[in-house]
Amino acid sequence: MHTHMFRHMFRTATFASALAATLATGAAGQASELRVGFSADALTLDPANHRNRETETIIRNMYDGVLTRDAKMAIVPELAESFRQVDTTTYDFTIRQGVTFHDGSPMTAEDIKFTFDRLILDNAMGGQTSPRKGLLGPLKEVTIVDPRTVRFILSAPWPILPAMLPFQEVVSKAFVEKEGSAALATKVNGTGPFRLVDWRKGDSIVMERFDGYYGGATDIPPVGKACVDRVIFKVIPESASRVAALLSGDVDIINELPAHAMNQVARNANTAVVTVGGTRTNFVALNNTKPPFDNVLVRKAANHALDKKLIIDKILNGTATPLNGELSPDAFAFKADLPEYAYDVAKAKALLAEAGYPNGIDVTLDVEGPFKDTAEAIASLLAKAGIRARVEVGEASLLTKKWRQDKDKVGDMTLTSWGNGSLDPSDIAEPTLQTGGRGNSAGYANPKVDELLVKASTEIDKAKRAAMYHEAQAIVNDEAPWIFLWLPQDIYGVSKRLSGWQPSADSRINLHDACVK
Amino acid sequence: MSPGKVLERLAQLVLVLLGVSVIVFLMITLTPGDPVQIMLGDQHVTPEQEQALRRDMGLDLPLPERFATFIGNAFQGEFGLSFFHRRPVAEVIAERLPATIELTLVALILAVATAIPLGVLAAVRKSTIFDKLATVTSLLGVSMPGFWFGILLLLLFAVNLQMLPVSGRIDFAYQVEPITHLLLVDTLLRGRPDAFVNALSHIIMPALTLGLPMTAILMRVTRASMLEVLAQDYVRFAEAKGISRRRILFRHALKNALIPTVTVAALETGTLLGGNMIVETVFGWPGLGRLVVESIFVRNYPLVQTAVLFYALTYVLLNFVADLLYTVLNPRVKL
């Protein structure tokens, strides 16, 4: 009975897949189809009603923005043709002509104004307020100057407006008014290279090429329609299953390839690994508010005690860039000549002794479960210099509360990170290093740094602004509120039938130029 | 069962659900972690923006008030908006539920269809090599973690043999207009055997993974109770009367031996719903379990509360069904 049952099931299965294969080729005909094995489903398809990077990655293939970024992360016009800053609080955008929405209607200045009104006005989305409002800072009003020009008016100077605009996508005013704001959660009428075919929630999002596409940003060749006929984002949350899907040929691109699976994908004849510098700065926040890390000598000792290169090579498989400060090398005003805390156990011990800890210190190192390996490696390396850290694993929200919200910081060290999708210093330095910042796990407080960050956040002159950030980076580097670690790369697995696609540092997966053999 | 008894059980059900909702509400809201902070992620935001979002989610109200609102609305079938999907929770759950029900049913059918014959066989051939093999296999089945077994299946059947797909419910090439929202049923009702086979190829591995521990447990239970029943006087009497072995096994013994199996099966079906969370994650199955796991991580209070209420309701109802089945299998049992 047992064997019979299984034999029968196997036969059914073989038959099933054979039949499926025949039918799939038959049904698809000559159409080219690109599949992405993606770690999460979209929460909604409404570009204004979420705060979620994965959702944006999916949506961005169907919706275009006023501005976008090229592969080198430069900000370039997309639905705008050009833009200029009129004064410290005013920007004018010239709207590209000849752009149509998926329903064939032309995109106008009205649509751009409507899109941003929906984002920044209270209760503008059928009674809801957009959770993305905060991403537009002091944007107060959007007005139509003439049919080709839209003016963005800020309530205070905010030089990073252009850096934040690629995060917003333009919707059709007529469509939203006709269908109702809530309908955008599941219906798409964008101006992007692909149009929505079907959203099988939790399973996949299917899109096909939009033949009326205007071609995309002129600064990012090739300009024109998308290469593939159909795109499917398949939701596969478990990384081992995502790797299996890539190896079996089920999908052509997977995101968040774990470092330990890189060799497996690289060795496979039909697949390859591609990486790109990410935007998430990793660091060990040292508790600057209490002993022993209130002493700068101890903090410097910790920086000297860690052999970063060893961890990057052995645990991260070489997929990270060491840092001496808070900024990614791709970020605006990155200071490339910050002094490095070279790996030097003797120096670390001497600094500890000088600080009054000749016998070393006993501390705890908090970490989230997924990064336990790295934390343990860090702890064992620090121990050689007399910094004996006990690793304590905690759940993400618990650690956020303990390190970022509780009034009294009780921990010693925590391995943590902060993302900087806009690649502008204000978006990472202000939360993590300004006194009382939302992400200031270290409890770092330096009036001079605070002042520089406040001034720079509204400084319009790029050179002056960069100079202020350079100065702040130098102070932070010298005071070492953290053990400066590294910037992990984003790792993707791709099929060799894929061409024309490269990963992007802002973790978007833009499929406009991707082709499959 | 008398109508009075049924009413009594239903009244108990309401009490149980009320108790569950209190516990769930307290557990999730008292768990550290703040959905507003999670939603804002790594952004520079002003306190005003943070407060606006808090108000939007209804989290600026005091705890008792939030609980009263939750219970009051729940009784009217209103479960609020999912914080992260920004749509009604009931709608989001309803989209995911059919996939979970389908997977649970197939796993249940697979488990029952394998476990009972195997259990009977192991009992009849007690202490033979078959019995011992079955014992070892079932021990493995109970002990093997679902995610590990699932990934082993994936590596073998999807990556190496390329016989079965890695994830999803059905290929995009098959568009089937829903009737029951259970794909295996709908594809047949619509007369699409090709789509049925495709859906079947997608569900086999997740259902096997999900059903394995249950198969093992049910087999052990069936074997044990079958052995007990076979030692009873009436079985020996039937043998003495010269009734055929087959008739004794299936007409006399099995019917009585199945009572514990049915209870365990009903309770285990509740467990299957829980096991779904892992299996759905491994196989990218678009069901409720995965949605709940994701929602717990981001502290999506309304969704988790509603889903747990639903699980509790199902569990209680399954117990109820088990009780009813008792009376059918053994008329001497009165509720």
pLDDT of residue A435: 94
Reported as a single tens digit per residue, the pLDDT across A302-313 is: 999 999 999 999
> Number of A:B CB contacts under 8 A?
202
B5 CA to chain A: closest CA distance, Å?
A: 41
Partners of residue B42 in chain A, C-beta under 8 Å: 280, 418-421, 427-428, 431, 439
From the list B43, B158, B168, the residue facing A204 with the nearest CB is B168
Nearest to B306 by CA among B101, B102, B74, B56: B74
Partners of residue B99 in chain A, C-beta under 8 Å: 202-203
Partners of residue B38 in chain A, C-beta under 8 Å: 397, 400
Q: Considering chain B, what is the average pLDDT of its residues?
A: 88
Residue B312 pLDDT class (50, 70, 90 cuts): confident
- Long-range contact list for A353-360, CB < 8 A, 24+ apart? A354/A297, A355/A292, A355/A295, A355/A297, A355/A298, A355/A301, A356/A295, A357/A292, A357/A298, A357/A386, A359/A386, A360/A385, A360/A386, A360/A387, A360/A388
Reported as a single tens digit per residue, the pLDDT across B234-283 is: 888 888 888 888 888 887 888 888 888 888 888 888 888 877 888 999 99
Question: How many C-beta atoms lie closer than 10 Å to residue B242's C-beta?
Answer: 6
Percent of chain A, pLDDT > 70? Answer: 94
- pLDDT for A25 beyond 60: no
Find, in chain A, the residue whose alpha carbon is nearest to that of B118: A2
A453 CA to chain B: closest CA distance, Å?
A: 12
Asked whether the beta carbons of A419 and A427 are under 8 A apart, the reply is: no
- pLDDT for A27 beyond 60: no
DSSP A4-32: HHHHHHHHHHHHHHHHHHHHHHHHHTT--
A431 CA to chain B: closest CA distance, Å?
A: 6
Query: What's the whole-model pTM score?
Result: 0.88
From the list A5, A24, A404, the residue facing B171 with the nearest CB is A24
Q: How far does Cα A214 stand from its chain's mean position?
A: 27
Q: Considering chain A, what is the average pLDDT of its residues?
A: 92
- pLDDT for A3 beyond 70: no
ipTM: 0.86
DSSP-derived letter for residue A181 is G
Partners of residue A254 in chain B, C-beta under 8 Å: none
Nearest to A377 by CA among A508, A483, A239, A248: A483
pLDDT of residue A2: 42
Nearest to B38 by CA among A399, A46, A443: A399
Alpha helices by DSSP H, A133-225: 161-164, 173-179
Partners of residue B32 in chain A, C-beta under 8 Å: 395, 397-398, 401
Q: Beta partners for A231?
A: A34, A207
- pLDDT for B334 beyond 70: no
Are B33 and A398 a contacting pair at CB < 8 A?
Answer: yes
- pLDDT for B115 beyond 90: yes
Span A134-158, mean pLDDT?
Answer: 95
A327 burial level (CB within 10 Å; 0-12, 13-18, 19+) = buried
Question: Distance between CA atoms of A167 and A67, rounded to whole angstroms?
Answer: 9
Nearest to A151 by CA among A164, A161, A166: A161
Are A204 and B154 a contacting pair at CB < 8 A?
Answer: no
B220 CA to chain A: closest CA distance, Å?
A: 15
pLDDT of residue A23: 41
Question: Distance between CA atoms of A366 and A308, rounded to whole angstroms?
Answer: 18
Partners of residue B196 in chain A, C-beta under 8 Å: none
Span B330-335, mean pLDDT?
Answer: 69
Are B282 and A238 a contacting pair at CB < 8 A?
Answer: yes
Find, in chain A, the residue whose alpha carbon is nearest to that of B43: A427
Find, in chain B, the residue whose alpha carbon is nearest to that of A120: B49
Partners of residue B131 in chain A, C-beta under 8 Å: none
Three-class DSSP category at A494: strand
A52 phi-psi bin (left φ>0, alpha ψ -120 to 50, beta other): beta
Partners of residue A247 in chain B, C-beta under 8 Å: 159
Nearest to A148 by CA among A60, A79, A229: A79
Find, in chain A, the residue whose alpha carbon is nearest to that of B48: A134
Span B48-76, mean pLDDT?
Answer: 87
Are A129 and B283 a contacting pair at CB < 8 A?
Answer: no
Residue A30 pLDDT class (50, 70, 90 cuts): low
Are B164 and A128 a contacting pair at CB < 8 A?
Answer: no
- pLDDT for A115 beyond 60: yes
